[in-house]
Amino acid sequence: MPKENCLIVVAAGRQLDLLRGEASRIARGAKADWWIDRAEVGTRFCFEDAKAKESFALTCDSFGIPCKDG
């Protein structure tokens, strides 16, 4: 699967559950698909839509959860 619209997030437990819910909400709003992969360090959240990825990055920032392109 292509990884151009992916972010790597380092989170666990409730934070990861929160981010899954937000990713689902964002993707549904963008009418795009999303998926999660394991990364070397953290979890990779991938979106079909670049705008959904950017919105998810802003969400991570608002929760104080670091993320990076991946």
| β pairing state of 34-38 and 6-9 | unpaired
Confidence at residue 70, expressed as pLDDT on a 0 to 100 scale: 85
Structure tokens at 52: 């959904």
Above 70 in pLDDT, residue 3? no
Please give the residue range of the domain that contains residue 43.
6-69
Q: Assess if residue 54 is contained within a domain.
A: yes
pLDDT of 4 reads 80
Report yes or no on 62 lying in a domain: yes
Residue 1 lies in a domain: no
In this predicted model, what pLDDT tens digit does every residue of 12-56 receive, in sequence order?
A: 999 999 999 999 999 999 999 999 999 899 999 999 999 999 999
Residue 14 within any structural domain of the chain: yes
Domain count, the chain: 1
* Per-residue pLDDT at 2 exceeds 70: no
DSSP readout, 1-55? Answer: ---TTEEEE---HHHHHHHHHHHHHHHHHHT--EEEEE-SSSEEEEESSHHHHHH
CATH of the domain at 53: 3.30.70
* Residue 23, domain member (yes or no): yes
pTM of the model: 0.90
pLDDT at 27: 96
